[in-house]
């Protein structure tokens, strides 16, 4: 069993710079996700159009992920991180064109929507690279004894920025509109780059000619399938979030069911992240000591029940509470899953394993957004959310009963 030293890693200046940069860039990404969901729904009034945002990003992200893992393991990571950072600045800058000049250019709502999908397609390529880079850099920055705590703090940073990003996105849209919110998002990404510049370079342990691309990518996939704890945790996350992605339909709930407006939408959109932030900050001080595998399974099943409750609720604050509870349970699963993946992955293959991990994450989040939009169109919004929560509970029961190594997992 690992001896945790809560908050010890924050004494490491380089780790603080990495976390601070990640805070600002995730803040920007969450504000962008909130803005795009709201913007597209206002343009189309079609829940399915929200689902297509996720599909537009996940196709290139998943397609490029294995190659991205190879590139990360074979190259200097700081340089790649900064390239991705500035690529996002350029791509999000392209969204300023319809935001500021749609009247002069006589864009229709559907034309703007298709333009947004096109830009998001290219951000998906950038995401394939930037997603695994930060977690792959952490083990080189902190000592191994502090790694579980560093992973927890990394997740806490992610969730704090998510909470702020979701809420700020909704408030800024309501106060200043889409175009000025986009400018804030670009500014935040530039601030993130200033902190990333302060990180030391991390060179590859390989010479580029030492390993072929296909062989390299196959090595990452093979390692995950041989390690049943990692495979079980990733499958659990992918299918649970795929079916339990109620957050994608929050613009519809806020507008048509709960009648909460842009401000209420921002807070509701941040609710699950608030719950996750609370629990992850707690776990950074009081870590789980045993039975992590069983706790993971229970947390995912409980997450599914909360999604069902959200779908059944017609009251704003009750819906908010269900989402906060779902976030708390999701936070537990995030910490356990992230720790399992990092502790059981050797340094030389970390980028490739984390890229495969990102495929599971992106498949669950963005395909979950698409699945939510599709089932909402087929079943209606409320029924689709209840269906998704029910499937999440079933997935937890199925994986728990078939993967004994995950069920017995302790670290």
Map out the domains of the chain as residue ranges: 8-200+213-407
Instruction: Report the pLDDT value the prediction gives residue 351, as an integer from 0 to 100.
Output: 77
What's the CA gap between 275 and 156, in Å, rounded? 11
What's the CA gap between 2 and 394, in Å, rounded? 32
Within 8 A by CB and 6+ apart from 55, the residues are 366, 367, 369, 370
| 150 touches 134 (CB < 8 A) | no
- The CATH code of the domain at 8-200+213-407 is 1.20.1250.20
Q: Which of 225, 239, 202, 185 is nearest to 391 (CA)?
A: 239
| 94 touches 157 (CB < 8 A) | no
What's the CA gap between 139 and 10, in Å, rounded? 14
The Cβ of residue 219 has, within 10 Å, a number of other Cβ atoms equal to: 17
Instruction: Report the pLDDT value the prediction gives residue 117, as an integer from 0 to 100.
Output: 92
Instruction: Report the pLDDT value the prediction gives residue 41, as an integer from 0 to 100.
Output: 83
| 240 touches 395 (CB < 8 A) | yes
Q: What is the dihedral of CA 61, 330, 161, 71, to 10 degrees?
A: -30
Instruction: Report the pLDDT value the prediction gives residue 3, as an integer from 0 to 100.
Output: 46
| 88 touches 20 (CB < 8 A) | no
Where helices occur in 75-212 by DSSP H, the ranges are: 77-94, 96-101, 109-141, 147-176, 178-196
Within 8 A by CB and 6+ apart from 248, the residues are 37, 50, 51, 54, 368, 369, 372, 373
Intra-chain end-to-end CA distance of the chain, in Å: 5
Angle at 214 between CA 211 and CA 217, to 5 degrees: 90
Instruction: Report the pLDDT value the prediction gives residue 88, as an integer from 0 to 100.
Output: 94
| 178 touches 44 (CB < 8 A) | no
Angle at 220 between CA 409 and CA 130, to 5 degrees: 95
Q: Which of 154, 170, 354 is nearest to 247 (CA)?
A: 170
Within 8 A by CB and 6+ apart from 408, the residues are 293
* 8 token code pair: 């010890």
| 16 touches 159 (CB < 8 A) | no
What's the CA gap between 234 and 239, in Å, rounded? 9
Instruction: Report the pLDDT value the prediction gives residue 369, as an integer from 0 to 100.
Output: 64
Within 8 A by CB and 6+ apart from 355, the residues are 65, 66, 68, 69, 70, 72, 128, 131, 132, 220
Within 8 A by CB and 6+ apart from 376, the residues are 47, 48, 51, 249, 252, 384
* 392 token code pair: 């999440």
Ranges of the chain whose pLDDT falls below 70 = 1-8, 103, 205-212, 245-247, 262-263, 360-370, 411
What's the CA gap between 166 and 276, in Å, rounded? 13
Burial class of residue 180, CB neighbours in 10 A (0-12, 13-18, 19+): middle
Rg (alpha carbons) of the chain, rounded to whole number: 20
């Amino acid at each position: 069993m690992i001896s945790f030293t809560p908050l010890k890693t924050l004494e490491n200046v380089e780790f603080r710079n990495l976390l601070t940069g990640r805070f600002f860039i995730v803040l920007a990404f969450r504000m962008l996700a909130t803005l795009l969901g709201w913007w597209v729904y206002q343009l189309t009034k079609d829940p399915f159009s929200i689902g297509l945002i996720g599909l537009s990003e996940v196709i290139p992200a998943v397609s490029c992920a294995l190659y991205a893992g190879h590139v990360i393991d074979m190259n200097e990571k700081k340089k790649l991180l900064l390239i991705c950072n500035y690529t996002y600045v350029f791509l999000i800058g392209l969204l300023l064109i319809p935001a500021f000049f749609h009247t002069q250019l006589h864009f229709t709502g559907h034309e703007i929507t298709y333009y947004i999908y096109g830009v998001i397609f290219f951000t998906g390529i950038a995401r394939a690279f930037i997603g695994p880079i930060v977690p792959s850099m952490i083990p080189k920055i902190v000592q191994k004894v502090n790694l579980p705590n560093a992973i927890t703090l990394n997740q806490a940073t992610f969730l704090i920025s998510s909470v702020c990003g979701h809420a700020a996105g909704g408030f800024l849209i309501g106060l200043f509109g889409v175009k000025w919110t986009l400018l804030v998002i670009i500014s935040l990404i530039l601030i993130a780059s200033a902190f990333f510049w302060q990180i030391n370079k991390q060179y590859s342990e390989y010479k580029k000619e030492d390993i072929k691309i296909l062989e390299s990518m196959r090595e990452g996939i093979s390692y995950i399938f041989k390690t049943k704890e990692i495979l079980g945790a990733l499958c659990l996350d992918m299918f649970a979030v795929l079916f339990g992605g109620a957050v994608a339909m929050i613009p519809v709930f806020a507008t048509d069911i709960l009648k909460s407006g842009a401000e209420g939408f921002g807070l509701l959109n941040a609710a699950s992240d608030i719950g996750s932030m609370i629990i992850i900050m707690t776990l950074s001080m009081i870590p789980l000591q045993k039975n992590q595998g069983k706790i993971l399974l229970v947390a995912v099943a409980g997450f599914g029940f909360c999604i069902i409750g959200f779908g059944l609720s017609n009251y704003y604050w009750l819906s908010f509470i269900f989402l906060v509870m779902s976030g708390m349970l999701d936070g537990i699963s995030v910490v356990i899953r992230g720790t399992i993946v990092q502790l059981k992955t050797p340094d030389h293959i970390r980028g490739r394993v984390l890229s495969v991990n990102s495929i599971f994450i992106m498949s669950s989040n963005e395909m979950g957004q698409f699945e939510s939009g599709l089932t909402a169109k087929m079943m209606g919004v409320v029924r689709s959310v209840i269906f998704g929560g029910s499937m999440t509970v079933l997935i937890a029961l199925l994986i728990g009963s078939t993967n004994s190594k995950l069920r017995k997992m302790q670290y």
